[in-house]
Structure 1
Amino acid sequence: MSDPVPSLRLRRLAVPIYGPNLLIAVGMGAVVPLIALSALDLGASVTQAAIIVGLIGFGQLVGDLPAGSLVQRFGEKRVLLVACTVEAAALLVASRTESLAVLSASVFVVGLTSAVFGLARHAYLSEAVTLAFRARAMSLLGGTFRIGGFIGPFVGAFLIEQYSFEATYAFAAGTSLAGGLLSLALPELRAAGPTVAVPEKRSMWSVLVAHRRVLATLGAGVLFVMIARASRTAIIPLWAAHQGLDATTTSLIFGVAAGVDMLLFYPGGAIMDRFGRMWVALPAMLVMGAGFLLLPLSGTALAIGSVACLMGLGNGISSGIVLTLGADVAPDEGRRQFLGGWRLCGDLGGIAGPGLISLVSLVFPLGAAAIALGLITWFGAAWLAKWVPVYDPAREPREKAPV
């Protein structure tokens, strides 16, 4: 492992590391619940709307492997600024279009830029934080998205009520630009230790082949985690619309669920650091699976909101689990290339979940898709129970750094 950044330096890096995540998360929290609704307003069916929502995950999937090469070649600051600028442009296009094809392309581009942004932050913290505090640092990173996800839907509901859908997309574009500019304040990590300054010579594919076993076992586990997370985001607004709820009510449900979601992100990281990753991974998947199975039984705003809060509880305690597991198994040599493959495993789940909703809803009611997702999530819990302990460094004795 590379030398960790001193704790004082980490405190100084808190704003440029976590600040852009928070800004972008607020904007995306306002927009994401509206993507399916925008598609429905443009004449899409429930199946088509689910596919369009899934294009965010598909864009991330396509962008994961190139993202590692881009960050390695051009550096974090330039890549982050360009990614945030392109994301802002895509959101503005989505706000003005009357074409499903253009909306789909814009959502796909947002996914591409998210892949670049996410990999750069993940790789940076993987190198900068000591093992004793790794899960907490990663949970805080995931927690900033949850805080933004809590604030964003309320902002979206206000903007929809007072202005329009277009104003909400424009707001998200502004937060993306602000996040890119704030990323320019991020100092170079190579000052922390000599290992970071050495360019990675190995090719992407050689790194992935060398670590194919961990990607096929633990990586498959994070695929199930991301299926649950992405499906939760897609199916709740679709189910709410299916039950006749309007866009404002749907945004409020998202906001309340996000409030529950963000309550446990730091305790979850502390549990992982102290007791091991399994103490978070298994309960989170069991709870989210139960939420999917209960969703078809909900028919009112209160009932749907209650199920959304239950799923938010499971999702919240698992904040940072995918980032932490990736940092645990990432090699020093070829770290960015490996994390590109690792994030590819997770993002496969990001498109598989909404895709499953689309396929099942072609033949069966939407509630059948929720039941299928619940069973898949519980299978993922069993898979994680087998493989997380194999690779969990938190189970090994290690020196505890002072708080």
Structure 2
Amino acid sequence: MAEEFRLRSVAAVAYGPATLFGLAEGAILPVIALSAIDRGATTAIAALVGALIGIGSLVTNIPAGVLATRVGERRSMLLAAAVTVAGLVICLVQAGSGPWALVLYGAGVLLIGMASSVYSLARQTYLTEMVPPHMRARALSTLGGTMRVGLFAGPFAGAGAMHLWGLPGAYCVGLVAIAAAAVLVYRAPELELTAEHRAAAASITTRDMIKRRWRTYVTLGSGVLLLSAIRQARQTVIPLWAAHLGLSPTTSSIIYGVAGAIDALTFYPAGKVMDRYGRRWVAVPSTIVLGASFVLMPLTGGAVSLALAGMVMGFGNGIGSGIVMTLGADVSPAIGRPTHIGIWNELADIGTGIGPVILSAVTALAGLGPGIIVSGVVGFGAAATLWTYIPRSGALRQARAECHD
């Protein structure tokens, strides 16, 4: 009962807003390229505009750590909500088609990506500070799971709104969700950290943190980078292979949705296993299953077999829910945690950018099937790296470190 109560006690500031942020993002992601084309973009330019969310996150991870250190996690989340609202409003502005309309729209998408990075770091730091180390994996896997539930539900909510109001309906869903998330964050308490703690954290620069912990970033961080790479590639391979098999877009979407449902339903047991038996027991099986699903996919020849491979892929990704955040928290210092998590998230985002590039490059050279298989090998590389470098008692070691600090 104590465990259940503790997790519920952080729901208002962590899980509720995470679901709502995911809902907002899920509602707008499918229409970004369409909105860009509506403003005169070519297909290539529309793809670039769609990438601005990831670019915004990539350039903001480290500044987000500085911001959270100086103004606090709760205020950072509120600021992120305000910037997201501003970005959504800009996206709603329809000044005809042409270069300036497209530039304005791109600026709105970029702001949303930047705010997403700030909010992600602040909520992760907040939850890490609030939850006892022995329950950390359950708390963070639930955080990742609730975000995925929002991402899964968002496209359906956006589709309903677009049926009534057209493309602007998706952005209206985002605005309502972000406003509700901001209300929940506003009512949550600020972390109770002393002025001395804040001052000590503010004195640690990003360069200082990298100098102190570079071995961790090079070793365990490499595993996180590879894991993020295969996770991002999975977003593309199902639609691409479905098109290769000649399946209809509707069938492809259904298969993708089934895989997403499996992904969203498997997060909590994984967190419990990580807390009880250790991080390896989830991180390594997750990456092996992901890699295997990629290797099996080119062997599929129809909708049913592709759906089965997609379900395996969703299961592998789902059981790894929260693993990047949990590992980042385990190796984080008690003083300067936001700065460390900013660097950690940067490594994950670099992997997110590399994954589709590997798939694209090998596909261009050898074909789609080999491209998918090589992406699967990246998953096996992630498994080997994580097995080697995950601390054998991460949560216990971190708890002791915090006590000494």
Matched, 1:283 2:282: no
Map 1:226-375 onto structure 2 (within 5 A): 226-239=228-241, 243=246, 245-246=248-249, 252-298=254-300, 302-363=304-365, 365-375=367-377
The residue matched to 2:390 in structure 1 has which SS?
Answer: helix
Which of 174, 183, 193 is 2:176 aligned to?
174
* Superposition pairs of residues 57-206 of structure 1, within 5 angstroms: 57-94=54-91, 104-160=106-162, 164-190=166-192, 199-200=200-201, 201-206=203-208
Structure 1 residue 16 corresponds to structure 2 residue 30? no
Q: Which residue of 1 aligns with 2:403?
A: none
Query: 1:56 and 2:53 equivalent?
Result: yes
Letter in 1 for 2:374: A
Task: Quote the Cα distance in structure 2 between the aligned partners of 1:179 and 1:172.
Answer: 10
Instruction: For 1:25-40, list aligned pairs within 5 A.
Output: 25-35=22-32
**Aligned positions, number:** 390
Q: Is the 8 A contact 2:266 2:319 kept in 1?
A: yes
- Taking the aligned partners of 1:259 and 1:328, their CA distance within structure 2 comes to 28
SS at match of 2:189: coil
The 3-state SS of whatever aligns with 2:265 is helix
Amino acid in structure 2 at the alignment position of 1:75: G
AA partner of residue 16 (structure 2): G
- Following the alignment from structure 1 to structure 2, what is the Cα–Cα distance between the partners of residues 260 and 365? 29
Counterpart residue type for residue 342 of structure 1 = W
TM-score, with normalisation over the residues of structure 2? 0.84
What are the Cα deviations for residues 350-369 of structure 1, in whole angstroms up to 9, with x where unaligned?
21123334444555544443
* Map of 1:401 onto structure 2: none
CA gap of 1:84–1:237, structure 2 versus 1, over 3 A, is: farther
Distance 1:378 1:117, change over 3 A: same
What SS class does the counterpart of residue 43 from structure 2 fall into? coil
For 2:374 and 2:271, locate their aligned partners in 1 and report how far apart those are by CA, in whole Å.
Answer: 29
Give CA-to-partner distance per residue, 1:49-76, whole Å, 9 cap, x none.
Answer: 6655443333212111000111122223
**1:150 Cα offset (Å):** 2.7
TM-score (structure 1 length as normaliser): 0.84
Which amino acid letter does the alignment assign opposite residue 116 of structure 2? S
Alpha-carbon offset, residue 89 of structure 1? 3.3
d(CA) in 2 for partners of 1:362, 1:73: 46
8 Å contact kept, 1:29–1:152: yes
The gaps in structure 1 that reach 5 residues or longer are 399-403
The change in CA–CA distance for 1:113 and 1:302 in structure 2 (over 3 A counts) is farther
DSSP 3-state at the match of 1:187: coil
Look up the equivalent residue of 2:118 and give its one-letter code.
V
Higher relative contact order (CA 8 A, sep 6+): 1
Could you tell me whether the CA contact under 8 Å between 2:28 and 2:158 is conserved in 1? yes
* Structure 2 segments unaligned to the other structure (5+ residues): 401-405
User: Tell me, what secondary structure is at the counterpart of 1:146?
Assistant: helix
Match of 1:23, SS state, is helix
Aligned-pair Cα RMSD in Å: 3.3
68-77 or 92-101, larger mean C-alpha shift: 92-101
Work out the percentage of aligned pairs sharing the same amino acid. Answer: 41
**Comparing 101-110 and 262-271, the one that deviates more:** 101-110
Distance 1:162 1:302 in 2: 34
- Aligned amino acid, residue 25 of structure 1: G
